[in-house]
Chains A and B, each alone.
Chain A
Amino acid sequence: MSLCIDNIRLVRDGKPDATTSSVVVEDGRFVAVGDSVDRCEQHVDGQGQWLLPGLIDLNCHLREPGAERRGRIATETRAAAHGGFTTVCAAPDTSPVNDSGAVTNLIRDLAESQGVVRVLPVGAMTRGLGGEQLSDMAGLLSAGCVALGSGGRPTANSRVLRRCMAYAHTFGLTLFVQPENASLSAGGCAHDGVLAARLGLPGIPEVSETTAVSELLLLAEETGARLHIGPLSCARSLQLLESARQGGLRVTAEVAIHHLVHTDARIDGYDSTYHCRPPLRSEEDRQALLAGVESGLVDAITSQHRPQDGAAKQAPFPETEPGLSTVESVFSLGLGLVQSGDLSLGRLLEALGRGPAEVLGQAVPAIEPGNPADFFLVKPDESWWVAPETLLSAGKHAPVLYDNLPGVVSCTYVGGHCAYSDQKGNA
């Protein structure tokens, strides 16, 4: 079966081609890029849309197993495909926690049978994410985990953290750690700023992130562990990261899309949609994060997709669950930042492609013969209406809701198979 997609524009070095071209896919891989090929069994007219390599998300909570009412691999991978993602890293904070090869295998089986994009499990770095005992790191690695992580939960005990890093270093494992000093963030639910003071919301101070970043950087330096940190939310965290990088430390970092588009102003009126962790911070922080992505200091933009059911957000703000349903909006929100001049298209695509691939130690995705046919088509000049009925995720609390976002993904292919198409409903 061969497929030829004609009349598409490739985007090279952050610029869409002036002329249209064609790509040919056979047996799940690109076989030709350039001119149309007549002998293909199927031809698709790209109508001048952009054809981009599939996006990679390093931080995605698929919720299965354990919290299926909040999301399932079936629903959340379709949501990912709707957002242009062809690869997502599944966070370990499932129930049971992904701290053993058995759970990793279960996730891979579910992804295989029900998922529509590539699901890369991230294992837990401590048993049950309890922050006290090491998980079976080597076992998780051999079961197929691409990295081990904290699952967004703070590891309070520095000695455990140090041993996690040392042990992970033994096997060349990458650690995904969200920096948070639990004793400084205790009880908090919002950025410790003017708004939290007015709303009487217990604050999460910047130092709860920055002290943790410092600690992580020093421990990574000492243990030699391969460390990836984020999502980062504070300007000051980026300064610490930059000086560690300048000192030669091999550390990568991510920011989540919502921290690039929103500030804590969003929580006014106790809007629990925007209850997230780390919290949305100030405009200065947002600007610094954008600058960090633009300069390359930040390697990846992630979704930190955390779908919730309605009840989880229906309570007084401090008692709601943190997290946004983002995976379908990341690319569109990013494109919005490009259109407003906050980010270049080249860096946006790198932070969603090359950057995360390098963090994972994988080949950089590109539309080239021989590469897996992971790609999506997008109409950059059209917009879509974001509303519960247009979101495929089980979580309906998107960072922008009841509004239009630029960039309509018309179809997404994973290994040459259609994972999402706006033509024939959901694949």
Chain B
Amino acid sequence: MAKTPGSLQHTPEGELRHFISIDGLDRAMLTRILDTADSFIEVGERTIKKVPLLRGRTVVNLFFEPSTRTRSTFELAAKRLSADVLNLDIGTSATSKGESLSDTLLNLRAMASDMFVIRHAASGAAHFIADAVTPDVAIINAGDGRHAHPTQAMLDMLTIRQHTGAFEGLKVAIVGDIEHSRVARSQIRALNTLGVEEVRLIAPDTLLPHKPEALGVRVFSHLEEGLRGVDVVIMLRLQRERMETALLPSEREYYKLYGLTTEKLARTAPNALVMHPGPINRGVEIESAVADGPQSVILGQVTNGIAIRMAVMSMAMSGQLAERQRESARNREGTRS
């Protein structure tokens, strides 16, 4: 009975009503998100960086996994849309008292919440909530397990489009821990949907998912080889616990083989972009000189992050409101007949 990502995220009229994953969204929708974000970037340059779109609406940031950085950008995005924002770190409160996830959310909905921004350690958490718990509240996925982090992926797409103008003909390499990365999963999907020429994954086998080619990528084991001719390099953050679980021998060896240095960057197409979802481990996945160098667009990504989040929040709220209206129209029809 579970819904596919496509039917879950759209209203019957094809508008966005939740933002759970890139899966199920077509190129036109992704382009619309990027275009809307462009408008919000302009808003961010004004004296008053605020629009009244979500005035009177309540956005609840539900972080079942701590992340100050992501939560802050969502909070800022919601506030710039004039919404009331409630921040809840659930990891420490309700669920530890034995309250189920469903109960927590239903209680919050009863407080007239219009949108939940959800970060959860389990893959599929946002999908589950939108599908089975509170489909009438707009759900924005702020990261679920290894599954998806679609706003992060879309802000990267926005950054790429700002620098390259288009996606056609681009070769993009994603380097690092693909298997455990929700960001990488969403990026791969977004890049392929937006029509890049090639997505490459560069990692040792222990950091790749089973049969990675099925995700629509080319796989390289050697960084030098994989970087040859690429237009964009996305470096993923390496979690320290990867060493403890026997996925990698040491940070030193990883840096030697997969760390992005000035020398290795020379293999790419001229002026290739260097991106990183942050926070950066300098000297583990990337050399400081590269992270701070002229090809790095790591800092500009923060501005785009707020704009993308404003875009998906306003679009999902819009679809959700349209759906509520249709619902109440149906109810009126029902009482009339």
- A: which residues have CB within 8 A of B? 192-194, 196-203, 205, 268-273, 311, 314-319, 401-402
Residue B214, interface by CB 8 Å: yes
B175-186 interface bits toward A, Cβ cutoff 8 Å, 1 = contact, 0 = none: 000000010010
Top 4 nearest A-B pairs by Cβ distance?
A200-B147, A269-B2, A200-B146, A271-B2
Give CA–CA (A159, B270) in the complex, Å.
Answer: 60
Partner of A314 from the list B132, B209, B212 (CB cut-off 8 Å) is B132
Q: Which A residues are in CB contact (< 8 Å) with B211?
A: 193-194, 197
Partner of A192 from the list B4, B23, B210 (CB cut-off 8 Å) is B210
Q: Which A residues are in CB contact (< 8 Å) with B146?
A: 200-202
CB-nearest residue of chain B to A317: B124
CB-nearest residue of chain A to B101: A315
Give CA–CA (A192, B212) in the complex, Å.
Answer: 11
CB distance from A296 to the nearest CB of B (A): 32
Is the pair B148, A200 in contact by a Cβ cutoff of 8 Å? yes
Q: Which B residues are in CB contact (< 8 Å) with A271?
A: 1-2
CB distance from A387 to the nearest CB of B (A): 11
A selection of 28 A-B contacts at a CB cut-off of 8 Å is: A192-B210, A193-B211, A194-B214, A194-B215, A197-B210, A197-B212, A198-B185, A198-B215, A199-B123, A199-B147, A200-B123, A200-B144, A200-B185, A201-B146, A203-B209, A268-B4, A269-B8, A270-B124, A311-B100, A314-B100, A315-B100, A315-B122, A315-B128, A316-B101, A317-B122, A317-B123, A318-B124, A401-B1
Q: Which A residues are in CB contact (< 8 Å) with B214?
A: 194, 197-198
Is the pair B122, A319 in contact by a Cβ cutoff of 8 Å? yes
CB distance from A48 to the nearest CB of B (A): 36
Give CA–CA (A273, B1) in the complex, Å.
Answer: 9
- Among A196, A201, A270, chain B packs the most CB atoms within 10 A around the CB of A270
- B: which residues have CB within 8 A of A? 1-5, 8, 23, 100-102, 120, 122-125, 127-128, 131-133, 144-148, 182, 185, 209-212, 214-215
Is the pair A314, B148 in contact by a Cβ cutoff of 8 Å? no
Query: Would A193 and B145 be within 8 Å (CB), given that A316-B128, A402-B1 are in contact?
Result: no
Is the pair B3, A269 in contact by a Cβ cutoff of 8 Å? yes
Give CA–CA (A243, B210) in the complex, Å.
Answer: 28
Q: Which A residues are in CB contact (< 8 Å) with B147?
A: 199-201
Q: Which A residues are in CB contact (< 8 Å) with B23?
A: 198
Q: Which A residues are in CB contact (< 8 Å) with B8?
A: 269
Give CA–CA (A269, B214) in the complex, Å.
Answer: 18
Give CA–CA (A199, B186) in the complex, Å.
Answer: 10
Give CA–CA (A51, B8) in the complex, Å.
Answer: 46
- 14 extra A-B contacts, CB within 8 A, seeds A268-B2, A319-B122: A194-B210, A197-B210, A198-B185, A198-B214, A200-B145, A201-B146, A202-B123, A269-B4, A269-B8, A273-B2, A311-B102, A315-B100, A315-B122, A316-B128
Is the pair A316, B210 in contact by a Cβ cutoff of 8 Å? no
Give CA–CA (A318, B122) in the complex, Å.
Answer: 6
Give CA–CA (A268, B8) in the complex, Å.
Answer: 12
Query: Would A316 and B215 be within 8 Å (CB), given that A200-B144, A271-B1, A311-B100 are in contact?
Result: no
Is the pair B100, A318 in contact by a Cβ cutoff of 8 Å? no
Is the pair A199, B124 in contact by a Cβ cutoff of 8 Å? yes
Give CA–CA (A202, B3) in the complex, Å.
Answer: 20
Is the pair A316, B123 in contact by a Cβ cutoff of 8 Å? yes
Q: Which B residues are in CB contact (< 8 Å) with A317?
A: 122-124, 128
Is the pair B1, A270 in contact by a Cβ cutoff of 8 Å? no
Q: Which A residues are in CB contact (< 8 Å) with B125?
A: 316
CB distance from A385 to the nearest CB of B (A): 15
Q: Which A residues are in CB contact (< 8 Å) with B215?
A: 194, 197-198
Q: Which A residues are in CB contact (< 8 Å) with B123?
A: 199-202, 270, 316-318
Is the pair B124, A316 in contact by a Cβ cutoff of 8 Å? yes
Q: Which B residues are in CB contact (< 8 Å) with A401?
A: 1
- Among A192, A199, A200, A311, chain B packs the most CB atoms within 10 A around the CB of A200
Query: Would A270 and B210 be within 8 Å (CB), given that A200-B182, A318-B145 are in contact?
Result: no
Give CA–CA (A269, B126) in the complex, Å.
Answer: 11
Give CA–CA (A427, B316) in the complex, Å.
Answer: 52
Q: Which A residues are in CB contact (< 8 Å) with B132?
A: 314
Q: Which A residues are in CB contact (< 8 Å) with B101?
A: 315-316, 319
CB distance from B18 to the nearest CB of A (A): 13
CB distance from A333 to the nearest CB of B (A): 18
Give CA–CA (A311, B101) in the complex, Å.
Answer: 10
CB distance from A346 to the nearest CB of B (A): 35
Give CA–CA (A174, B209) in the complex, Å.
Answer: 39
Is the pair B144, A316 in contact by a Cβ cutoff of 8 Å? yes
CB distance from B250 to the nearest CB of A (A): 22
CB distance from B256 to the nearest CB of A (A): 28
Q: Which B residues are in CB contact (< 8 Å) with A272?
A: 2, 128
Give CA–CA (A382, B211) in the complex, Å.
Answer: 43
Is the pair A205, B145 in contact by a Cβ cutoff of 8 Å? no
CB distance from B186 to the nearest CB of A (A): 9
Q: Which A residues are in CB contact (< 8 Å) with B102?
A: 311, 314-315
Q: Which B residues are in CB contact (< 8 Å) with A318?
A: 122-124, 145
Give CA–CA (A311, B133) in the complex, Å.
Answer: 12
CB distance from A62 to the nearest CB of B (A): 25
CB-nearest residue of chain A to B214: A194
Is the pair B148, A269 in contact by a Cβ cutoff of 8 Å? no
Give CA–CA (A196, B124) in the complex, Å.
Answer: 11
CB distance from A276 to the nearest CB of B (A): 15
Q: Which A residues are in CB contact (< 8 Å) with B185?
A: 198, 200
Q: Which A residues are in CB contact (< 8 Å) with B145?
A: 200-202, 316, 318
CB distance from B278 to the nearest CB of A (A): 20
CB distance from B4 to the nearest CB of A (A): 5
Give CA–CA (A269, B127) in the complex, Å.
Answer: 8
Give CA–CA (A152, B127) in the complex, Å.
Answer: 29
CB distance from A69 to the nearest CB of B (A): 14
Is the pair B2, A270 in contact by a Cβ cutoff of 8 Å? yes
Q: Which B residues are in CB contact (< 8 Å) with A202?
A: 123, 145-146
CB distance from B146 to the nearest CB of A (A): 4
Give CA–CA (A200, B102) in the complex, Å.
Answer: 21
- Among B101, B127, B131, B209, chain A packs the most CB atoms within 10 A around the CB of B209
CB-nearest residue of chain A to B145: A200
Give CA–CA (A219, B243) in the complex, Å.
Answer: 33
